[in-house]
């Protein structure tokens, strides 16, 4: 079971890097080395269109994030069960095993979530285009008869894009991930995992191991 979870972590990390980094990095680019010199009225509506075209990518990324939360939760629950000092099996087996690779892979996927936040914050187009896209909703609401969309459908679409903004485009993906993960774990186990001293000790061992490795590399000439 642990092996499959570890493989899935690697797969999701690869998916985030190869499928979502480029669309987020290049969002808002017009393919030219020069700024668009056209008058504003000629460019009217283009930002809203680009935002609309990006929504499928953001929706898929949101689904991927849901998988990351479930995977992380499963891995932590598995490790919480393994790192039980009162269990004879732990003393005979798991206590002697290093789980550095699992921590490494989980840390890698968390690093990529943080990178996504940096990309969003660095690309001002997201904030600017979102503002224009949000204004579009207000215009449609003020004159529903001029647009072929029902009020219920409009509310549904707006709720969906606001969810994407709150979780991805706000630049708080990393924070949202931890908040959702902690809430899910508490719903299942209460505070059991967070009070698992054996788990905490294993994690501290891992941190010390990584710090020692970095120190060795820094002290190695060349």
pLDDT at residue 41 is higher than 70: no
pLDDT at residue 215 is higher than 60: yes
- Rounded to two decimals, what is the model's pTM? 0.82
- Of residues 46 and 19, the one with the higher pLDDT is 19
Kindly state the average pLDDT of the residues 208-214: 89
Q: Of 43-47, 56-60, 104-108, which range is least confident?
A: 43-47
Instruction: Say what percent of the chain tops pLDDT 70.
Output: 92
At residue 128, the pLDDT reads: 85
pLDDT at residue 219 is higher than 80: yes
63-80: pLDDT as tens digits: 999 999 999 999 888 888
pLDDT at residue 166 is higher than 60: yes
pLDDT at residue 30 is higher than 70: no
Kindly state the average pLDDT of the residues 75-98: 80
On whether the CB atoms of residues 43 and 36 are closer than 8 A, the answer is yes
Kindly state the average pLDDT of the residues 39-66: 82
Confidence of residue 217 (pLDDT cuts 50, 70, 90): confident
pLDDT at residue 222 is higher than 70: no
At residue 45, the pLDDT reads: 64
């Amino acid at each position: 079971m642990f092996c499959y979870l570890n493989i899935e972590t690697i797969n999701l990390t690869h998916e985030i890097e190869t499928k979502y980094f480029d669309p987020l990095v290049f969002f808002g680019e017009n393919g030219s080395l020069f700024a668009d010199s056209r008058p504003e009225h000629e460019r009217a509506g283009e930002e809203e269109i680009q935002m609309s075209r990006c929504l499928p990518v953001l929706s898929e990324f949101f689904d991927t994030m849901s998988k990351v939360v479930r995977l992380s939760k499963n891995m932590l629950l598995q490790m919480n069960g393994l790192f039980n000092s009162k269990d004879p099996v732990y003393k005979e087996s798991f206590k002697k095993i290093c789980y550095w690779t699992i921590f490494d892979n989980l840390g890698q996927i968390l690093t990529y979530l943080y990178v996504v936040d940096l990309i969003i914050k660095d690309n001002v187009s997201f904030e600017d285009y979102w503002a224009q896209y949000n204004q579009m909703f207000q215009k449609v609401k003020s004159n529903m008869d001029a647009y072929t969309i029902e009020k219920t459908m409009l509310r549904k679409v707006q709720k969906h894009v606001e969810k994407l903004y709150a979780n991805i485009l706000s630049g708080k993906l990393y924070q949202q991930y931890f908040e959702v993960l902690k809430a899910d774990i508490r719903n299942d186990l209460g505070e059991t995992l967070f009070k698992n001293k054996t788990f905490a000790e294993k994690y501290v061992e891992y941190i010390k191991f990584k710090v020692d490795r970095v120190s060795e590399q820094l002290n190695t000439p060349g």
